[in-house]
């Protein structure tokens, strides 16, 4: 396995130049931000701030408690001026679908003078080619083969020739640790370790970041996990694993929807499982689904059929309906996919 270098260096250079030339920038990422989304946003934001730029760190939802430790989290705001100040460059991180920025996406896109997208999600609809946006000034750097948006941000900061401070390194290290699943996912490669090593050399503390991200759960979360684990079931000779959370489980445990990080991992880790599903119904009739796979099953493709998206081995979607209803529809679809692949093998 060799080191991955940025592909399409022309577009990356255009993104770097555009960021360099902007004095006022509005940074944002996808809703329900994870460690990669926030680490990328804060890492780039702090570098821009250090360089004397006017930076707004915008996310629609408040950052989850487990990510509040990230340096620069105190700068996050969930409201921005309307209209945006003149000559605002919108930088979108870890996201290349307009609606995933949140409810204000459309006006931010329309009001920004320039848009730069730095992302690694598999996406069929390029952000700026969306007929609804028609934004003329958009630089879209999307590299699905790279393990984290944080890695792209590191390339950008290095391209700008700016220093990597301890705070920036901590954010980007958290981004890489999150999106490689602690260096366990299939996207983990030599570059991930090289970059992580580089960030540690710049002051990121691996033990401190890992503790904050993974040894920092509330008791409510563990109570919820206990309830959810009782729903565990496998289908198709154990190849499909399922977990469900109902509104009642959230009520009983006192946990919130942010407390379910990596619940899907509790079913993916079963030896026979290829496709893991976690169906979460926080509010009655509103479901969000996490999908994971181990080898051949493309869950991004499946999620897309439900209006969601993600990566080959990790994806998700939101839908109206109860957990039980979505479970039925999903099982039928996945069973059909398995049948197709079995026919193809025969």
Q: Which among 76-84, 146-154, 218-226, 303-311 is the span making contact with Mn ion, rule CB under 5 A?
A: 146-154
Complex with Mn ion: residue 36 or 259, whichever CB lies closer: 36
Q: Per-residue x/- mask for Mn ion, residues 115 to 144, rule CB under 5 A?
A: ------------------------------
Helix (H) or strand (E) holding 328: helix 323-345
Distance CA 267, CA 286 (A): 22
Q: Which among 10-18, 28-36, 108-116, 283-291 is the span making contact with Mn ion, rule CB under 5 A?
A: 28-36
CA proximity to 14, closest of 145, 144, 130, 160:
160
Q: Per-residue x/- mask for Mn ion, residues 47 to 86, rule CB under 5 A?
A: ----------------------------------------
Distance CA 178, CA 39 (A): 9
Complex with Mn ion: residue 242 or 314, whichever CB lies closer: 314
Does the CA dihedral 117-123-128-133 come out positive or negative?
A: negative
Contact 105, 128 (CB under 8 A): no
Number of C-beta neighbours around residue 74 at 10 A: 9
Size of the site for Mn ion (CB under 5 A): 4
Helices 35-50 and 166-179: crossing angle, nearest 10°?
160
Q: Which of 18, 55, 94, 97 touches Mn ion (CB under 5 A)? A: 94
Q: Which among 67-75, 93-101, 262-270, 317-325 is the span making contact with Mn ion, rule CB under 5 A?
A: 93-101
Query: Closest approach of Cβ 216 to Mn ion, in Å?
Result: 20
CA end-to-end span of the chain: 32
Query: Closest approach of Cβ 38 to Mn ion, in Å?
Result: 10
In the range 269-288, which residues lie near Mn ion by CB under 5 A? none
Query: Closest approach of Cβ 293 to Mn ion, in Å?
Result: 17
Contact 67, 94 (CB under 8 A): no
Complex with Mn ion: residue 96 or 244, whichever CB lies closer: 96
Residue given tokens 């080959």 in the structure block: 312
Number of C-beta neighbours around residue 346 at 10 A: 5
Q: Which residue is nearest to Mn ion (CB)?
A: 36
CA proximity to 67, closest of 95, 42, 98:
42
Query: Closest approach of Cβ 30 to Mn ion, in Å?
Result: 8
Query: Closest approach of Cβ 153 to Mn ion, in Å?
Result: 11
Complex with Mn ion: residue 36 or 60, whichever CB lies closer: 36
Complex with Mn ion: residue 118 or 128, whichever CB lies closer: 118
Helices 190-201 and 166-179: crossing angle, nearest 10°?
150
97 binds Mn ion (CB under 5 A): no
Contact 280, 245 (CB under 8 A): yes
Q: Which among 149-157, 191-199, 296-304, 335-343 is the span making contact with Mn ion, rule CB under 5 A?
A: 149-157
Q: Which of 97, 167, 179, 261 touches Mn ion (CB under 5 A)? A: 179
Query: Closest approach of Cβ 41 to Mn ion, in Å?
Result: 11
For residue 54, give the 3-state DSSP assignment.
strand
> 241: which strand partners?
234, 276
Complex with Mn ion: residue 84 or 172, whichever CB lies closer: 172
Complex with Mn ion: residue 94 or 274, whichever CB lies closer: 94
Query: Closest approach of Cβ 35 to Mn ion, in Å?
Result: 8
DSSP 261: T
Distances (CA, A) of 13 to 4, 9, 22, 207, 212: 17, 6, 14, 34, 34
Q: Which of 128, 138, 146, 149 touches Mn ion (CB under 5 A)? A: 149
Q: Which of 35, 36, 306, 315 touches Mn ion (CB under 5 A)? A: 36
Contacts with Mn ion by CB under 5 A lie at: 36, 94, 149, 179
């Amino acid at each position: 396995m060799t080191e991955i270098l940025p592909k399409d260096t022309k577009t990356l250079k255009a993104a770097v130049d555009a960021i360099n030339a902007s004095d006022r920038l509005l940074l944002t990422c996808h809703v329900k931000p994870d460690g990669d989304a926030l680490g990328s946003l804060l890492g780039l934001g702090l570098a821009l701030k250090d360089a004397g730029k006017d930076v707004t760190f915008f996310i629609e939802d408040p950052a989850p408690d487990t990510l509040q430790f990230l340096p620069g989290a105190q700068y996050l705001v969930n409201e921005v001026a309307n209209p945006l100040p003149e000559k605002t460059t919108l930088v979108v991180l870890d996201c290349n679908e307009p609606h995933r920025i949140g409810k204000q996406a459309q006006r931010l896109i329309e009001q920004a003078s320039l848009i730069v997208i730095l992302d690694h999600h598999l996406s069929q609809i390029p952000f700026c080619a969306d007929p609804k946006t028609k934004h003329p000034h958009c630089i879209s750097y999307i590299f699905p083969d790279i393990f984290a948006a944080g890695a792209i941000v590191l390339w950008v900061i290095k391209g700008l020739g700016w220093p990597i401070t301890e705070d920036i390194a901590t954010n980007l290290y958290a981004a890489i640790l999150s999106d490689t699943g602690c260096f366990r996912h299939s996207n983990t490669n030599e570059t991930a370790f090289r970059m992580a090593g580089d960030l540690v050399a710049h002051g990121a503390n691996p033990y401190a970041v890992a503790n904050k991200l993974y040894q920092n759960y509330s008791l409510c979360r563990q109570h919820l996990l206990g309830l959810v684990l009782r729903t565990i079931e496998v289908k198709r000779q154990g190849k499909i694993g399922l977990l469900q959370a109902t509104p009642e489980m959230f009520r009983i445990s006192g946990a919130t929807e942010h407390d379910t990080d990596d619940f899907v991992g509790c079913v993916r880790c079963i030896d026979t499982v290829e496709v893991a599903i976690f169906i979460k119904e926080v509010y009655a009739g509103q479901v969000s689904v996490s999908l994971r796979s181990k080898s051949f099953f493309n869950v991004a493709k499946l999620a897309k059929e439900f209006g969601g998206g993600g990566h080959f081995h990790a994806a998700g979607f939101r839908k109206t309906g109860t957990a039980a209803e979505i479970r039925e529809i999903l099982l039928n679809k996945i069973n059909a996919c398995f049948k197709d692949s079995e026919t193809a093998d025969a």
